[in-house]
A = this chain, B = another copy of it.
Amino acid sequence: MRLLEEKIRKDGKVLNENVLKVDSFLNHQIDANLMNEVGKEFAQRFAGEGITKIVTIESSGIAPAVMAGLYMNVPVIFARKRKSLTLTDDLLTARVHSFTKNETNELAIARKYVKKNDKVLIIDDFLANGQAALALVEMVHNAGASVAGIGIVIEKSFQPGAQILKEQGLRVESLARIASLSNGEVTFITDKMEEVIQ
């Protein structure tokens, strides 16, 4: 998605070979217009999949997921990272380790919001090692529902997440795919590069 790649080049900060900081438009300050376009793009890419629900994780997944929910006209559920006092229902849970934050969280979704016949689109801001997405897949499967696909805003393609998810037969659509953060620069995987790789 060209608009997103341009935004990453312009406002993303490469902290080191593994970390791209995008807190000026995605995960602290949010560019609502960009999120609107991101939501529209997810809706286009997953049109025809019969999606009935979107599942994401608090907090950075919420903006892109809600915009996608608007264009796909389906409810959005965000998994909570710990149980709140008012989230006392029967829960779907999974544990997820974040390498970026070096912490393990238990994710929880109220079971009543994911039904057996749901076709779920999982959305998240980043895909790196795939731990968060795998935890969401596990929860959706535990509800007896199916995962129609995984929509990612920024994929760090040099980390194994995308590959792991695809090996499980899951459709992954990442709007920006980063080949490398070496030398302080963002290099995207372009369609042309992909032809050469394959």
Contact = CB atoms under 8 A, between A and B. Distances in A.
Interface of A: 15, 19, 21, 23-25, 28-33, 35-36, 58-59, 62-63, 66-67, 69-70, 73-78, 80, 84-87, 100-102, 109-110, 113
Contacts of A66: 30, 32, 35, 62-63, 66-67
Contact of A28 (B23, B31, B78): B78
B62 A32 contact: no
Choose among A19, A36, A76 the residue with the greatest number of B CB atoms under 10 Å from its CB.
A76
A77 to B, nearest CB: 5
A52 to B, nearest CB: 12
Given A28-B113, A110-B28, A101 B85 contact: yes
A109 to B, nearest CB: 8
A73 B31 CA distance: 9
